Structure 1
Amino acid sequence: MSAVALGGGHGLHATLSALRQLTEDVTAVVTVADDGGSSGRLRRELGLLPPGDLRKAMAALAGEDRDSQLWTDLFRHRFGGTGALAGHAVGNLVLAGLLEQLGDPVAVLDVACRLLGVRGRVLPMCNSPLNIEADVKGLDEDAEVVRRIRGQVAIATTPGLVQRIRLSAPIGRPVGCPQAVEAVLGADLVLLGPGSWFTSVLPHLLVPELHDALLRTAAKKVLVLNLVPQPGETEGFSPECHLDVLCEHAPGLRVDAVIADVDSVPTPDRLTRAAAVLGARTHLARIAAPDAAERHDPGALAGCLLQVLGKTGVGGTGTWR
């Protein structure tokens, strides 16, 4: 089975950790709009793709042998202190160096994946860094005034209500990574979410080539919802509101299934109706990690995915609606 997961950050790490239990043919398609932390600094100083989310995706798919784990641990290591290197992850610096040497982001990631013994492949959503803009309400005394804010960090932490997002590239429009588009078109299973809804999930739908591939692919398309609303970005959002926003940004998209944690859905009937607009059935199960209500359990999520595919073999139960 060939599987593709689209997203970024910790949400993408969760889906990749689940998928690697089901198949070795996994491709991560990663957002490239991060402008904070170590990634933001490298992006501003060197004009390169922000490497942080790409590094996290590689770590999720890294090999389990001793050498692979050594490289993975090294890539995760962050420098301390107060100097120029403080806060930088070693992996971010390695990827930045390779980008300056090789130029081609796909070639860079393939080289780094070999170092980490990655099972599968990690690809950028686009081969150049992107900017995100958002229309936001609630930043003025008049709650209906819409302000435009720019940047992944600003959008993720806004105290206002995000209405809509847009992508822009340094030159021209965003262009999808050809290898990522090819992976979506050739997949048996495509996952979208969980993750930061406006800054990690929806951006994939705003890249024309990826949007077209998601419409054309014969793969089963599955949407995985977050376990809890994210402060700032989706504060106060109900599960069905996430689907409504997705429909507004990609009205032509249809999916086969929506997976949600049963304890995170107070009104299942509303979610069922919202999923039906996308052409999907809703699968409710307990997929939160036992020790962290905000984090998905990879084994339970893998079990849900098997049920979506009509197969059995990995633990996990749930109900269709």
Structure 2
Amino acid sequence: MRAVALGGGHGLHVTLSALRQITPDVTAVVTVADDGGSSGRLRRELGLLPPGDLRKALAALAGEESTLWSTVFQHRFGGTGALAGHAVGNLVLAGLLEVIPDPVMALEEAARLMDVRGRVLPMCTEPLDIEADVVGLDEDTTAVRRIRGQVAVATTPGRVRRIRLHPAGDPASVPTACPAAVEAVRDADVVLLGPGSWFTSVLPHLLVPELHEALITTTASRIVVLNLVPQPGETAGFSPERHLDVLCEHAPRLRVDAVIADADSVPTPDRLRRAAETLGASMRLDGVASADARDRHDPKALAESLRDVLAAVRG
């Protein structure tokens, strides 16, 4: 089974960890708009793709034999010098991206180093910027303000209404999808959206025209995995069904086969069921939260839920 997961950050990491328990043929399609932390520093200084989310995806798909390399890739330097806060894997990827101009080939080399079972691809082969329309930042709570940058959008105290995506420094242009990512979505048997930062990791894939069209026209089963809790800032106060409403607003032609949510995170199942049906999807409520951290998915439990959903969706 060819599985493709779209997202970024910790949400994509858990999805990949679950999928690799189901199939060895997993492709991660990763957002490239991060402008904070180590990734943001490398992006600004070198003009490269932000490597952080790509690094996390590689670590999630790394083979058993590469435990040491996975640990090293995720290790962050301490201290107060120039390297403080940088992840080793970010620096390795930055070096590969400078030596090998093709980001897809650079990531393939990193995958070989880490014995990755599957593939990691950037959503686009150039860094992107996110803009958001936000309300609730002024005395007039209906006034719309434009917020720029992934970190700013993710941490805004206002409520995000809509986002836009464009190549870095070129707000008049439309982003171009990585051709390999488009091909992976078209050829997939199952495509997963979420969990993750809804406006800055999940929805951006729908704002790249070629990727958007591939998601709509693919013959793959499309599954949405909902977050366990609202994210402070961009989705504060969101109900589970509101996440689906926003998804529909950004991609009204998108149809989904199933929506997976944690049973304890859905206070009004009937509302979520109706929202899922609007997208053409069935709803699946399972216990997919980690016992140690209720705001994180348990990869094993998510894998079991995915198996059941896929069995039902594929007949």
Q: Same fold (TM over 0.5)?
A: yes
1:70, distance to aligned residue in structure 2 (A): 1.5
Measured in 2, the distance between the counterparts of 1:288 and 1:276 equals 24
User: Which residue of structure 1 aligns with residue 188 of structure 2?
Assistant: 187
- Give the TM-score, by structure 2 length: 0.97
1:176, distance to aligned residue in structure 2 (A): 0.6
User: Which residue of structure 1 aligns with residue 14 of structure 2?
Assistant: 14
- Give the TM-score, by structure 1 length: 0.95
Give the letter aligned to residue 179 of structure 1: A
Could you say what secondary structure the match of 2:146 adopts?
A: strand
User: Which residue of structure 2 aligns with residue 287 of structure 1?
Assistant: 288
Tell whether 2:97 aligns with 1:96: no
Runs of 4+ deviating beyond 3 Å: none
Give the letter aligned to residue 161 of structure 1: R
Measured in 1, the distance between the counterparts of 2:113 and 2:153 equals 34
Measured in 2, the distance between the counterparts of 1:98 and 1:56 equals 16
Give the letter aligned to residue 242 of structure 2: C
User: Which residue of structure 1 aligns with residue 37 of structure 2?
Assistant: 37
1:74, distance to aligned residue in structure 2 (A): 1.2
Deviations along 1:169-223, one digit per CA (max 9) or x if unpaired, are 1353201100000000010110000000000000000000110000111110000
Deviations along 1:82-121, one digit per CA (max 9) or x if unpaired, are 1111100011001001111111100010000010000000
Measured in 2, the distance between the counterparts of 1:38 and 1:123 equals 20
1:304, distance to aligned residue in structure 2 (A): 1.0
Measured in 2, the distance between the counterparts of 1:75 and 1:300 equals 26
User: Which residue of structure 2 aligns with residue 25 of structure 1?
Assistant: 25
1:73, distance to aligned residue in structure 2 (A): 1.2
Measured in 2, the distance between the counterparts of 1:233 and 1:115 equals 36
Deviations along 1:5-24, one digit per CA (max 9) or x if unpaired, are 00000000010000000010
Higher mean displacement: 300-309 or 145-154: 300-309
Could you say what secondary structure the match of 2:224 adopts?
A: strand
Give the letter aligned to residue 35 of structure 1: D
1:135, distance to aligned residue in structure 2 (A): 0.2
Tell whether 2:224 aligns with 1:233: no
Could you say what secondary structure the match of 2:115 adopts?
A: coil
1:300, distance to aligned residue in structure 2 (A): 1.0
Tell whether 2:251 aligns with 1:253: no
Q: Which of 156, 177, 184 is 1:158 aligned to? A: 156
5+ residue gaps, structure 2, are: none
Could you say what secondary structure the match of 1:293 adopts?
A: coil
User: Which residue of structure 1 aligns with residue 166 of structure 2?
Assistant: 168
Aligned length: 309
Measured in 2, the distance between the counterparts of 1:119 and 1:232 equals 35
Aligned-pair identity in percent equals 76
Could you say what secondary structure the match of 1:162 adopts?
A: strand
1:275, distance to aligned residue in structure 2 (A): 0.5
Measured in 2, the distance between the counterparts of 1:107 and 1:49 equals 13
Could you say what secondary structure the match of 2:140 adopts?
A: coil
Measured in 1, the distance between the counterparts of 2:25 and 2:148 equals 36
1:71, distance to aligned residue in structure 2 (A): 1.3
User: Which residue of structure 1 aligns with residue 3 of structure 2?
Assistant: 3
1:165, distance to aligned residue in structure 2 (A): 0.1
User: Which residue of structure 2 aligns with residue 115 of structure 1?
Assistant: 113
RMSD over equivalenced CA pairs, Å: 0.8
5+ residue gaps, structure 1, are: 312-321
Could you say what secondary structure the match of 1:251 adopts?
A: coil
1:28, distance to aligned residue in structure 2 (A): 0.2
User: Which residue of structure 2 aligns with residue 62 of structure 1?
Assistant: 62
